[in-house]
């Protein structure tokens, strides 16, 4: 799947570029594509510099957590659920605890902690994988849920809206929660269908239904807060949870007589090795994305969608928000730039800007996640992971548009 997808990016870019040259008289498109190719190669190295430090730090702390028994404890608590969702993972396996920590970090918007923990979980799942290059069912489920992971506190979106002068930066809080919930549900159902998982199993429902009720209660609590209180709670909760997690690892390690410094260094060395192996995969995926963007293929897709919506008699206001939606699976930084551009062009509280902000907060950089998570363990055949992840993204975008029409008219 990844081979065909990667090749397809270049072929679509090439066809678009030749069309612009031969039919539109735009030979400069080839220079733009070459600039995009080398620009993305440079960006891949810059991303790797950040990943080196983050992975080294967090995998050091995770080694302490493993030695202190915290990961094993989480694995035992969630063993009955994951035995149904990931039957090939043995009960109590360390991967289950790491997956739980990753989901918790993603839910609170702690990206700098979620990625290293997720990579550690993917490597633990790879130890159980009979194939060195083909993704297992457990890895696919984990990646899709990670790529569509529920975000309870989208602090970065509030910050962008505040920077652009929004009267209420948290106006999109509930729309994002609803849209990201739809994205996660679609990802889970897609994988369950492909892997024939029985989500109606009583044990699965016993875990998921209380979780859904708690999530609903938390959403209701946050929805009742003022914009100032919600922004303050977001900042406090994120930083408090992050530091408390580190402190918990260290204190539990000390209580269990773990040599915390030595084990931190061992884990940090592992983080360095993981980061070093990621660069080829990042360069490959980001360069393909850069060429596709520079060719103008995404712009043509947007115009085609505008024409189709107009022909169908739909309200086309949402089309101006679609650049963010089209680019988000490929590049988080590009989607962020397009979101800000939409806010500046149409107004921070305009309908296109509200839809773009909701999309940005409820979808993921799917191809970046694929490159990083599968690249860390050498997976080359993604099987149905790409399709299920893109389905989650697509449903997230549709939900974002629908919810914004519901909330903002």
pLDDT interval class at 14 (50, 70, 90): very high
pLDDT interval class at 34 (50, 70, 90): very high
> What's the pLDDT at 18?
93
pLDDT interval class at 17 (50, 70, 90): very high
- Reported as a single tens digit per residue, the pLDDT across 327-347 is 788 767 667 767 777 787 788
126-134: average pLDDT: 88
* Residues of the chain above pLDDT 90, percent: 5
Q: What is the pTM of this model?
A: 0.70
pLDDT interval class at 30 (50, 70, 90): very high
pLDDT interval class at 88 (50, 70, 90): confident
126-142: average pLDDT: 89
11-15, 90-94, 276-280, 321-325: segment of lowest average pLDDT: 276-280
Q: What is the mean pLDDT of the chain?
A: 80
| Separation between Cα atoms, residue 30 and residue 235, nearest integer Å | 44
SS3 381: strand
Highest mean pLDDT among 26-40, 162-176, 296-310: 26-40
pLDDT interval class at 184 (50, 70, 90): confident
- From the CA atom positions of the chain, what is the Rg in Å? 22
pLDDT interval class at 21 (50, 70, 90): very high
> What's the pLDDT at 68?
84
> What's the pLDDT at 37?
87
> What's the pLDDT at 288?
81
Helix-helix angle 351-362:173-195, to 10 degrees? 40
235, pLDDT greater than 60: no
pLDDT interval class at 31 (50, 70, 90): very high
How many angstroms separate the first and last alpha carbons of the chain? Answer: 39
* Residues of the chain above pLDDT 70, percent: 88
198, pLDDT greater than 90: no
Which is more confidently placed, 215 or 31? Answer: 31
Integer CA distances (angstroms), 80 to 149, 191, 225, 262, in order: 21, 19, 36, 34
> What's the pLDDT at 2?
62
213, pLDDT greater than 70: yes
263, pLDDT greater than 80: yes
How many CA atoms, within 13 angstroms, populate the side-chain half-sphere of residue 233? 16
> What's the pLDDT at 15?
93
pLDDT interval class at 233 (50, 70, 90): low
E strand residue ranges, 44-91:
none
> What's the pLDDT at 153?
66
- Reported as a single tens digit per residue, the pLDDT across 368-390 is 788 888 888 888 888 888 888 88
For residue 134, report the phi and psi dihedrals to the nearest 5 degrees: -110, 130
> What's the pLDDT at 36?
85
| Separation between Cα atoms, residue 242 and residue 240, nearest integer Å | 5
| Separation between Cα atoms, residue 184 and residue 102, nearest integer Å | 15
86-112: average pLDDT: 76
Which is more confidently placed, 127 or 382? Answer: 127
| Separation between Cα atoms, residue 311 and residue 314, nearest integer Å | 8
Contact assessment for residue 109 and residue 156, using Cβ atoms and an 8 Å cutoff: yes
Domain ranges, ordered by start, for the chain: 1-408
1, pLDDT greater than 60: no
Q: Collect all residues with Cβ–Cβ distance below 8 Å to 358 and sequence separation of at least 6.
A: 172, 175, 176, 179, 400, 403, 404
């Amino acid at each position: 799947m990844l081979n065909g997808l990667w090749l397809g990016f270049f072929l679509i870019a090439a066809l678009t570029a030749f069309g612009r040259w031969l039919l539109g008289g735009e030979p400069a498109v080839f220079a733009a594509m070459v600039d995009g190719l080398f620009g993305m190669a440079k960006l891949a190295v810059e991303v790797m510099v950040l990943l080196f430090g983050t992975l080294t730090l967090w995998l050091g702390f995770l080694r302490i957590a493993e030695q202190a028994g915290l990961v094993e404890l989480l694995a035992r608590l969630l063993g009955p659920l994951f035995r149904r969702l990931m039957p090939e993972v043995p009960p109590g396996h360390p991967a289950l605890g790491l997956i739980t920590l990753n989901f918790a970090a993603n839910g609170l918007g702690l990206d700098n902690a979620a990625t290293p923990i997720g990579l550690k979980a993917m490597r633990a799942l790879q130890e159980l994988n009979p194939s060195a290059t083909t993704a297992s069912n457990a890895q696919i489920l984990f990646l899709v849920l990670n790529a569509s992971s529920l975000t309870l506190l989208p602090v970065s979106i509030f910050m962008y809206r505040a920077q652009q002068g929004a009267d209420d930066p948290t106006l999109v809080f509930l729309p994002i929660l609803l849209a990201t919930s739809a994205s996660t549900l679609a990802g889970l159902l897609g994988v369950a269908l492909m892997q024939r998982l029985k989500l109606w199993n009583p044990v699965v429902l016993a875990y998921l239904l209380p979780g859904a009720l708690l999530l609903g209660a938390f959403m209701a609590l946050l929805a009742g807060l003022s914009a100032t209180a919600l922004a303050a709670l977001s900042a406090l909760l994120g930083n408090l949870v992050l530091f408390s997690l580190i402190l918990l690892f260290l204190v539990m390690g000390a209580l269990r007589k773990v040599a915390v410094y030595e084990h931190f260094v061992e884990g940090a060395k592992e983080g360095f090795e993981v980061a070093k192996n990621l660069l080829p995969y990042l360069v490959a995926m980001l360069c393909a994305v850069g060429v596709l963007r520079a060719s103008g293929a995404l712009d043509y897709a947007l115009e085609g969608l505008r024409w189709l919506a107009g022909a169908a008699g739909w309200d086309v206001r949402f089309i101006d928000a679609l650049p963010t939606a089209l680019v988000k699976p490929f590049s988080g930084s590009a989607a962020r730039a397009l979101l800000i551009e939409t806010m500046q062009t149409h107004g921070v509280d305009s309908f296109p800007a509200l839809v773009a902000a909701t999309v940005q907060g409820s979808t993921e950089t799917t191809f970046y996640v694929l490159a990083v998570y599968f690249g860390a363990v050498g997976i080359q055949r993604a099987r149905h992971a790409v399709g299920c992840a893109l389905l989650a993204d697509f449903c997230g975008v549709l939900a974002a548009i629908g919810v914004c029409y519901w909330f903002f008219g």
